[in-house]
Amino acid sequence: MTVSIIIPAYNCEAYIAATLRSVMQQTEPDLEIIVVDDGSSDTTLAIAQAAAAKDARLCVVTQTNQGTAAAARNRGLRLAQGEFVAFLDSDDLYHPEKIARELAAFARCPELDAVFSDVIYFDDDPHAATNVRCMSSQYLLQRAAAYLTQHSDTLYLCKANFYNFMSTQITAMSTQTVMLRRALLAQEHVAFREDWPVGEDIDLWFRLARRARLGYLDEALAYYRQRSQSLMTDEERALLGFIRAHSTNLQRGSDVFSAAEVHIINQRLARQYFNLGYYYFRQGRKREARTAYSTARDYDESAYSRSAYLKTYVPAPVTLLVKRAASAWQRH
Residues 158-186: tens digit of each pLDDT:
999 999 999 999 999 999 999 999 999 98
- Looking at residue 24, its pLDDT comes to 98
Superfamily of domain 3-229: Spore Coat Polysaccharide Biosynthesis Protein SpsA; Chain A (3.90.550.10)
**Half-sphere exposure (CA, 13 Å, Cβ side) for 297?**
11
Q: Domain boundaries in the chain?
A: 3-229, 258-331
Nearest to 281 by CA among 272, 293, 270, 298: 293
Q: How confident is the model at residue 329 (pLDDT cuts 50, 70, 90)?
A: very low
The CA distance from 161 to 153, in Å, is 22
**pLDDT for 279 beyond 50:** yes
**pLDDT for 327 beyond 60:** no
CB 190 within 8 A of CB 232: no
Nearest to 6 by CA among 238, 185, 195: 185
Lowest-confidence pick of 36-40, 116-120, 279-283: 279-283
User: Which of helix, strand or coil describes residue 224?
Assistant: strand
To the nearest whole number, what is the mean pLDDT of the chain? 92
81: left (phi over 0), alpha (psi -120 to 50) or beta: alpha
- Looking at residue 324, its pLDDT comes to 54
**pLDDT for 230 beyond 80:** no
CB 38 within 8 A of CB 63: yes
CB 206 within 8 A of CB 163: yes
Bridge partners of 157? Answer: 149, 215
| Average pLDDT over every residue of 189-210 | 95
**pTM of the entire predicted model:** 0.89
Q: At what angle do helices 69-79 and 200-211 cross, to 10 degrees?
A: 50
Q: How confident is the model at residue 311 (pLDDT cuts 50, 70, 90)?
A: confident
CB 39 within 8 A of CB 10: yes
Phi, psi torsion values for 85, nearest 5 degrees = -130, 140
Q: How confident is the model at residue 332 (pLDDT cuts 50, 70, 90)?
A: very low
